[in-house]
Structure 1
Amino acid sequence: MPSVSALVKRVLPKSLLGRSLLILVTPLVLLQVVSALIFFETHWSKVTLKMARTVAADIAVVIDLMREFPDAHHQQWIFHRASDLNFRLKMMPGKILENTVPQGNNLGERMLILAMDEYVRKPFRFYPNMEARHMVIDVQLAHGVLRVIVSDKRLFSSTASVFVLWMVGTSLLLFGVATIFMRNQVRPIRRLARAADDFGKGRDSPKFKPEGASEVRQAASAFIVMRDRLVRQIAQRTEMLAGVSHDLRTPLTRMKLQLAMMGDVEGAGELKQDIDDMEHMLGEYLAFARGEGGEKPAEIELSEMLHDIVAKARRKGGRIDFHSEGMVVVTGRLNALTRCLTNLLDNAVRYGRTVAVRLGVRENSVEVVIDDDGPGIPKDKRADVFKPFFRLDGSRNPVTGGVGLGMTIARDVVRAQGGDIELTDAPLGGLRVKVRLPL
């Protein structure tokens, strides 16, 4: 059974905008409820009782006047003067009211019952007429029933409805203003999140600038400084290694020329192979340091790219079964992603006789699955193969496995675009490489 805190977290809004609005709305609603309770329990009940007492007191005065002046002339005068009190009087001689107890369905009727019992002290009945907006009150007298028709304005105050309308109206207005204000406050945070996500995927955000509250501006400025510092450090590292590579390739080139001029001297072939291996390693080191960071992101038709990569691998003698679920477009760096998938497929072809490549869309990401029937990689070594210069083959022979940077570069390329690489067991018996890229 989930705990109370888990249930509360499940019910509460997840976004900053929703939580901020909840913080603003909750006190507002509580204030409205408390105000309404105080108003209805004190002010409205007191006002309604006073109005009912005024009506009951006027009816009692009319009954006293009719008792003091029982002749028809005076009673006609009394009925005429009662119109000034918003009363319409009618005498029904000989009529007797039913012997029932009046029941009030709302606050005004209950207050009227209390007031009539307090001032008139005679049997009575009332009949509200909502369409005509008046109340009919029958009072039992000694010689008949006195019918009093009184307007609702004398019994019910419109303050309650006006109060409710003002309360609800102002609440909705304040809620709308608060929503607009909070959306404007949250928008810079969302832009900062998008800029950080774009930077993590290697995309540019040239229009991003600090805005919003001072704390958000401070966070945005810190992000820009951090981004510029990282870009500068990567550029410095790339330039340094490019210079080292250039400086090392110069003597290597001289050595190749000298070997070419020496002809078929004993040991020249081995030295030439060593020089080629050194140039290959220098290229791998530089590619690892550079990480294809200077390339601009663009839309890539992944199924077409994989088709070309598979075709090249087949020309090298690989047996590859390729299947794509249709046209799949992602945003990334074309050359870097091509290098990454080519490296992964070459590894599968090198160690396996049969390779299967699958491309498809799963939820919000693209999956490229490469299976082979080779020896695979032990589970305890799968995390190590992504470390720079790590090779399962203990020797440093590039023919049997390169310099140990292929998987590192591949994962860096994929992670730079917001994805990841997973190594598992393949159904073919070898290794399965699963590449996930965001759409």
Structure 2
Amino acid sequence: MMRLRDITPRGLYARSLLMVVAPVVLILALMTWYYYSSHLAEVNRKLAQSIARDAALVQSYCDGRPDLPVDRDQLAADLDMTFDCARVDPPGGGPRLQRSFAYRSGLKEELETRLGVPVDVSIDAASMLHFRFPSASGTVEIRIERKRALTVNSHFFIVWVIISSLMMLGLAVAFLNQQVRSILRLSEAARAFGRGRDAPDFRPSGATEVRDAARALIDMKSRLTAFADQRTSMLAGVSHDLRTPLTRLKLSLAMMEETEELAAARADLDDMAMMLDEYLTFARGEDGDEPVPLDLAVLVREAAAGFGPHIVVTGPASLEITGRPLALKRAVNNLISNGVKYATEVRVSLVSGPRAAEVHVEDDGPGIAPERREEAFRPFARLDEARTQNTSGTGLGLTLARDTARAHGGDLRLSDSALGGLRASLRLPH
């Protein structure tokens, strides 16, 4: 079923402009139709009646009525027309007269009704109307200026209506530009805030509602920043406080005689230190890593090289984007590391799309069931599946990678790999 929103523009500017243009065009069309079909037709009808009355006086004069003045020139001057009572055409039928839209004004019908004889109405090259009709004295021809029978300046009305409508549309477009510009600035600021960037030039502007929304956005950004800073400080303090006893335990174990139990204890302490580092990395997010133009292809190849020459990267040699290099490299490292942990073959491919660049990391491991993939993104989640058995880690790799992707305006998705395992697709806008 066809809906109105299926045929109307989707953008706010286009919809607002349509709301202004459509009524103006409709009113202009209705006014034009009324002017030509009613008002203009009535004016032309009155003119035709006046001319028909004057033509009746000429007919009476040519027929020799005694109650009319006998001075032909005086009668022509009073009626503002010229006439011949007994016109004789030269050989060949006289000059060819062009047919005119005078028929549409009702002039011919008014003349024939008033005079009671057939009347031929035509217009010549000099814009003079000619009326010919038979009488007792012969063929009577009356000549008048066209402007007496038809309103020749009617198009001025339409021109002025169009000019005034264009002026109103111009003012409306200027007003819409100002209002929509404020909304676009708000959208750009929200997008920047969502990617972890600042918008120092952003100020609330526009209508009151838009200003309120801008202030709410700034307040929300301040609150989120304060919350993130508080979380970072708290976890940094916890990490620092835990590192001290861990260091003392490592020193104590180092002074003891080497045994299998001591080796296992050292391994546990190393795992705890690694967990603290990952917790702190998760808490800090991308602090201190500012967005800069970078080559994603070079960054991915550098990250893959750290895992050995068996990790092959395919795709374009260059992919220019803007992002935080440390955060992106950490995210790619996490994806490749997950593949190396759970599979024997890992492939990395780069794809350059029209709006975004994509990094695909595929493996031939056991994979993750579709209904469990969203759970894999939860912080510290460890799925009781083949991908988490006999492996170390905190369960933050995918969480950090997706947080990084979304902070850049992209996303991270999991799907089935052509190798039979898991495929992680990191999408980043250009």
Q: TM-score, normalised by structure 1?
A: 0.88
Partner in structure 2 of residue 353 of structure 1 = 344
More moved, 37-46 vs 11-20? 37-46
Alignment of 1:87 onto 2:87: no
TM-superposed deviation, 1:263? 5.4
Question: Whole-Å Cα distance in 2 between the matches of residues 13 and 111 of structure 1?
Answer: 46
2:25 to 25, 29, 34: 29
Pairwise CA distance, 1:353: 1.9
CA distance in 1, matches of 2:390, 2:326: 24
**Distance in 2 (alpha carbons) for counterparts of 1:248 and 1:107:** 103
Give the deviation of 1:128 after TM superposition.
Answer: 2.1
- Which residue number in structure 2 is paired with residue 244 of structure 1? 238
Q: Which residue of 1 aligns with 2:383?
A: 392
The answer to whether structure 1 residue 120 and structure 2 residue 141 are counterparts is: no
Q: Which residue of 12, 16, 19 corresponds with 2:12?
A: 16
* AA in 2 matched with 1:298: V
What does 1:21-420 align with in structure 2 at a 5 Å threshold? 21-68=17-64, 77-79=71-73, 81-83=75-77, 85-93=79-87, 106=101, 109-129=104-124, 131-262=125-256, 264=258, 267-314=261-308, 319-392=310-383, 400-420=391-411
Q: Match of 2:119, as an amino acid?
A: F
Distance in 1, Cα, partners of 2:260 & 2:344: 37
Q: Is the 8 A contact 1:89 1:148 kept in 2?
A: yes
Which residue of structure 2 aligns with residue 421 of structure 1? Answer: 412
1:175-212 deviation line (CA, Å, top 9, x unaligned): 12111111211111111111111222222211111000
Q: In the aligned structure 1, how far is the partner of 2:343 from the partner of 2:281?
A: 26
| Equivalent residue letter for 1:60 | A
Please state whether the residue corresponding to 2:382 is helix, strand or coil: coil
Indicate if the aligned counterparts of 1:45 and 1:107 stay in contact, CA closer than 8 A.
no
* Corresponding residue of 1:4: 2
The percent of aligned pairs where both chains have the same amino acid is: 38
Deviation at 1:105, TM superposition (A): 7.0
Secondary structure of 2:235's counterpart equals helix
Q: Cα RMSD between the aligned structures?
A: 2.7
Shift of 1:398: 10
1:436 aligned partner:
427
User: Is residue 85–residue 137 contact of structure 2 (8 Å, CA) maintained in 1?
Assistant: no
- Shift of residue 92, structure 1, vs aligned partner: 4.1
State the AA in 2 paired with 1:31.
Answer: I
Asked if the contact 2:102–2:150 (Cα under 8 Å) also holds between the matched residues in 1, the reply is no
| Code of the aligned partner of 1:339 | R
Shift of 1:271: 2.9
Residue correspondences, number: 421
> Offset of 1:151 from its aligned partner?
0.8
SS of 1:358's equivalent in the other structure is strand
> Secondary structure of the residue that 2:9 maps to in structure 1?
coil
Deviation, structure 1 residue 258: 2.9
**3-state DSSP class of the match of 2:205?**
coil
Q: Distance in 2 between matches of 1:189 and 1:383?
A: 34
| Cα offset, 1:94, TM superposition | 6.2
Distance in 2 between residues matched to 1:4 and 1:261, nearest whole Å: 81
1:297 alignment partner AA: P
> What is aligned with 1:101?
none
Q: Distance in 1 between matches of 2:12 and 2:400?
A: 37
Cα distance change on mapping 1:26 and 1:107 into 2, 3 Å: farther
> Could you list the runs of 5+ residues in structure 1 that have no partner in the other structure?
99-103
C-alpha displacement of 1:246: 1.0
Deviation at 1:286, TM superposition (A): 0.9
In structure 1, what is the Cα distance between the partners aligned to 2:288 and 2:81? 92
Alpha-carbon distance between aligned partners in 1 of 2:260 and 2:34, rounded to the nearest angstrom: 108
1:41-86: CA deviation from partner (whole Å, max 9, x where unpaired): 332122111111222222222222233379xxx87x5146525644
Residue type of the alignment partner of 2:228: I
Unaligned runs of 5+ in 2: 94-98
Taking a change above 3 Å as real, the CA distance of residues 79 and 303 of structure 1, as seen in their structure-2 partners, is: same
Deviations 1:147-199 (A, max 9, x none): 11211110111352122112222112211211111121111111111111122
Query: Contact (CA 8 Å) 2:112, 2:119: kept in 1 or not?
Result: no
Q: How big is the shift at 1:88?
A: 2.8
